[in-house]
C-alpha cells in the first residue's frame, strides 16, 4: 500500500526571502492560484506579522484559495499568532504555523533562553494557537543541530498541547541523508505521542543535499515534504518541489509514495515563478532546466531515437512540456490560438485571451513562424495585471561605435504623453536614462538579463531587470523582437511595480 504524502509549498514565504525574489500582492496571488492548480496540499502564504504587505498578501491568498490548506508562519509569540489567525481565518482550510529555535547555538546566542524556557514557551504558544485554529504546525528551528533528547521532549509537549504537525527543519542545510534519516526514525521511536501528529521535513540546500535529505526523511517516516518551486529560498535555497515530486513519481518502485500533485503543471509553475521573480533557471537544472530533455552527444541521440527510455527516465509530457507543435503564423485564427493555449495548459479569461491574441497577431507580423515558447512568453506577460502608471508609446535611438548613443523615449502618464531625450554608453543605457528623466527618479540597475525566447534572427528577446530604490528591489520583464524595446519595457515594468506597491501600501489598513 503506497504511503500518502503531502506537499507543503513555501515559495511565497521562504522562497520570497531569497535575495531579489520579493513579489507584490498580485504576483503572489497568481503563484498561489497556480499552486492550487497543481494541487499542492499546503500553501504557506507568508509571514503575516512581518509587514502590512505580508499581512495583506496572506489574507488575500487565504480568501482566494479553496482547495489547499493556507498557512501563515509566526514566531512562538502571541502577537505573531494573532496576526497569523487574522490573516488566514477566512481560508477554507486555515493553518497556523509557529516555530521556535531548539538547537543549543540558537537558544544561547539568538534567543538567549534556557532550554526549559524554550520548551515552556513552545507548549504555551501551540496551546494559544490551538484556541484559534484546529490545524497547528510546530517547527523546531535548526532541529538537525538540536540535542535529540531535547527535541523528543519538545515534540511530545507541543503535540500534547494540540500540534497536528511537527516539523523537523534542517535550517542551515547542515545534515546528510544518513543523519536526517536516523533523526526521523529516532523521533518516531522516542516521542510517545508521535502517532497523534504528522512528521514534516524542511531542508535547505547549503551543501546541495536538500532534495536527498527530504527523500531520506520520507523513507524514515516523514509524510509532509516542505519545498519551493525551482528550489528558491534563503542562501542556497530550499528543496526543489519539482525534483522531489518527480523522484517519487519516476521511482515509484523504490519510494512507493502516493501524492495528489498534478505533475503536468510543474513546468508552467517553474516558468511562472522564474518570470515573476526574475530569477532564471539554470540550463542544467534537474527536471525543469532547458537542457533537461536535450541530447547532444551522438550516442545519446542514437539511443533516444531507437528507444526514448535509453536516456530519458521521464517524459517531457509528464511535467507539462508538449511535443506536438502546431505552427502558427499571421493567418492563424483566434480558435487555433486558443486551442494551442489550452494544449499548453493555459486557460485565460476572455479579456486576457483577447489581449494575448492581439499581441500574437502583432508578433506574427514580425515573425514568420510563432513557436510555443513565443506564445508562452506572451501569456506570462498576462499573468499579473499591474496598473501601468507609465506606458511606452514609442522610442527612437541613434547609436554606433563612433558616436554617443542617444535615445528619445515617449510614454503615456495619466492620459498625457511625455517625452525625454538622453545619452548613454549604448542604446539600452541611453533608453533607460531617458526613462529616469521621464519618471523624475534615479534607480540602481542591479541586474540585467537578456535571453532569446527561440532560435533565429527574428527571435523575441526577453529582458529581466532588477532595480533598487529606497532599500527595496523590484523586478521587471519586457518582451520584444527589438532588444532595446524589451529593455525599456522591462525597466518600466519594474518602475510600475514600485509605484503600484507604494500606492497599495498607502491605501491598505492593517487591523490585526
Return the C-alpha cell found at 375: 506564445
Q: pLDDT band at 171, cuts 50/70/90?
A: very high
The whole-number pLDDT of residue 456 equals: 82
* Residue 451 is assigned to a structural domain of this protein: yes
- Distance between CA atoms of residues 48 and 141, nearest Å: 18
% the chain with pLDDT above 70? 92
39 and 76 together in one domain: yes
Q: Which residue has the higher pLDDT, 231 or 317?
A: 231
- Distance between CA atoms of residues 473 and 21, nearest Å: 8
Return the C-alpha cell found at 356: 494575448
Looking at the predicted structure, is the pLDDT value of residue 303 above 60?
Answer: no
Looking at the predicted structure, is the pLDDT value of residue 299 above 60?
Answer: no
Q: pLDDT band at 300, cuts 50/70/90?
A: very low
Tell me 2's DSSP state: P
474 and 407 together in one domain: yes
378 and 313 together in one domain: no
**CATH number of the domain residue 400 falls in:** 3.30.160.270
Return the C-alpha cell found at 355: 489581449
164 and 26 together in one domain: yes
% the chain with pLDDT above 90? 68
310 and 231 together in one domain: no
The whole-number pLDDT of residue 296 equals: 45
376 and 400 together in one domain: no
Q: Hey, which residues does 96 pair with through a beta bridge?
A: 72, 136
Range of the domain at 256: 3-277
184 and 64 together in one domain: yes
Return the C-alpha cell found at 141: 528551528
Q: pLDDT band at 221, cuts 50/70/90?
A: very high
Between the CA of residue 61 and those of 15, 27, 105, 149, what are the distances in Å? 16, 11, 35, 38
> Do 137 and 167 form a contact (C-beta atoms < 8 A)?
yes
**Highest mean pLDDT: which of 6-10, 277-281, 450-454?**
6-10
239 and 314 together in one domain: no
165 and 229 together in one domain: yes
Return the C-alpha cell found at 325: 507543435
Q: What does residue 437 show for φ and ψ, rounded to 5 degrees?
A: -65, -45
Q: pLDDT band at 328, cuts 50/70/90?
A: confident
272 and 299 together in one domain: no
Average confidence (pLDDT) over 85-111: 98
The whole-number pLDDT of residue 4 equals: 96
* Residue 214 is assigned to a structural domain of this protein: yes
Looking at the predicted structure, is the pLDDT value of residue 308 above 70?
Answer: no
* Residue 299 is assigned to a structural domain of this protein: yes
Q: pLDDT band at 327, cuts 50/70/90?
A: low
CA angle 17, 22, 28 (to 5 degrees): 105
The whole-number pLDDT of residue 508 equals: 41
Looking at the predicted structure, is the pLDDT value of residue 387 above 80?
Answer: yes
CA angle 72, 61, 232 (to 5 degrees): 70
Looking at the predicted structure, is the pLDDT value of residue 510 above 70?
Answer: no
Average confidence (pLDDT) over 289-299: 65
pLDDT in tens, 180-208: 999 999 999 999 999 999 999 999 999 99
318 and 334 together in one domain: no
pLDDT in tens, 68-94: 999 999 999 999 999 999 999 999 999
* Residue 145 is assigned to a structural domain of this protein: yes
Total structural domains within the chain: 4
The whole-number pLDDT of residue 295 equals: 47
The whole-number pLDDT of residue 164 equals: 98
Amino acid at each position: 500500500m503506497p504511503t500518502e504524502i503531502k506537499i507543503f509549498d513555501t515559495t511565497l514565504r521562504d522562497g520570497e526571502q531569497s535575495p531579489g525574489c520579493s513579489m507584490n500582492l498580485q504576483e503572489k496571488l497568481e503563484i498561489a492560484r497556480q499552486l492550487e492548480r497543481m494541487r499542492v496540499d499546503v500553501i504557506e502564504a507568508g509571514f503575516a506579522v512581518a509587514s502590512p504587505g505580508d499581512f495583506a498578501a496572506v489574507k488575500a491568498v487565504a480568501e482566494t484559495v479553496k482547495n489547499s490548506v493556507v498557512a501563515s508562519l509566526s514566531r512562538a509569540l502571541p502577537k505573531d499568532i494573532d496576526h497569523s489567525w487574522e490573516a488566514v481565518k477566512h481560508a477554507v482550510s486555515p493553518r497556523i504555523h509557529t516555530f521556535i529555535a531548539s538547537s543549543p547555538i540558537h537558544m544561547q546566542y539568538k534567543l538567549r533562553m534556557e532550554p526549559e524556557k524554550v520548551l515552556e514557551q513552545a507548549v504555551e504558544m501551540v496551546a494559544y494557537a490551538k484556541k484559534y485554529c484546529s490545524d497547528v504546525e510546530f517547527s523546531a528551528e535548526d532541529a538537525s543541530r538540536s540535542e535529540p533528547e531535547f527535541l523528543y521532549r519538545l515534540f511530545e509537549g507541543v503535540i500534547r498541547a494540540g500540534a497536528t504537525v511537527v516539523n523537523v527543519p534542517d535550517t542551515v542545510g547542515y545534515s546528510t541523508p544518513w543523519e536526517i534519516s536516523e533523526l526521523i526514525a529516532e523521533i518516531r521511536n522516542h516521542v510517545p505521542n508521535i502517532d497523534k501528529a504528522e512528521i514534516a521535513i524542511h531542508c535547505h540546500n547549503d551543501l546541495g543535499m536538500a532534495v536527498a535529505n527530504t527523500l531520506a526523511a520520507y523513507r524514515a517516516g516523514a509524510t509532509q515534504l516542505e519545498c519551493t518551486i525551482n528550489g528558491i529560498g534563503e542562501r542556497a535555497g530550499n528543496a526543489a518541489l519539482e525534483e522531489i515530486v518527480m523522484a517519487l513519481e519516476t521511482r515509484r518502485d523504490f519510494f512507493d509514495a502516493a501524492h495528489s500533485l498534478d505533475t503536468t503543471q510543474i513546468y508552467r509553475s517553474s516558468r511562472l515563478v522564474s518570470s515573476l521573480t526574475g530569477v532564471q533557471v539554470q540550463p542544467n537544472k534537474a527536471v525543469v532546466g532547458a537542457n533537461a530533455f536535450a541530447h547532444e552527444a551522438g550516442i545519446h541521440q542514437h539511443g533516444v531515437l531507437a528507444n526514448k527510455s535509453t536516456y530519458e527516465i521521464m517524459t517531457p509530457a509528464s511535467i507539462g512540456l508538449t511535443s506536438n507543435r502546431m505552427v502558427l503564423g499571421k493567418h492563424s485564427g483566434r480558435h487555433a490560438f486558443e486551442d494551442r493555449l489550452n494544449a499548453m495548459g493555459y486557460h485565460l479569461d476572455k479579456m486576457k485571451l483577447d489581449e494575448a491574441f492581439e499581441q500574437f497577431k502583432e508578433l506574427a507580423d514580425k515573425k514568420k513562424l510563432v513557436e510555443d515558447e513565443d506564445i508562452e512568453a506572451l501569456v506570462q506577460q498576462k499573468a499579473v495585471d499591474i496598473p501601468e502608471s507609465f506606458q511606452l508609446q514609442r522610442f527612437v535611438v541613434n547609436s554606433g561605435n563612433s558616436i554617443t548613443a542617444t535615445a528619445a523615449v515617449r510614454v503615456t502618464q495619466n492620459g498625457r504623453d511625455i517625452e525625454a531625450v538622453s545619452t548613454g554608453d549604448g542604446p539600452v543605457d541611453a533608453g533607460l536614462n531617458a526613462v529616469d528623466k521621464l519618471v523624475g527618479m534615479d534607480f540602481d540597475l542591479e541586474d540585467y538579463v537578456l535571453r532569446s525566447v527561440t532560435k533565429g534572427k527574428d527571435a523575441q528577446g526577453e529582458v529581466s531587470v532588477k532595480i533598487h530604490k529606497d532599500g527595496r528591489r523590484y523586478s521587471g520583464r519586457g518582451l520584444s523582437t527589438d532588444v532595446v524595446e524589451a529593455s525599456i519595457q522591462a525597466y518600466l515594468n519594474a518602475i510600475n511595480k514600485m509605484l503600484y506597491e507604494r500606492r497599495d501600501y498607502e491605501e491598505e489598513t492593517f487591523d490585526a
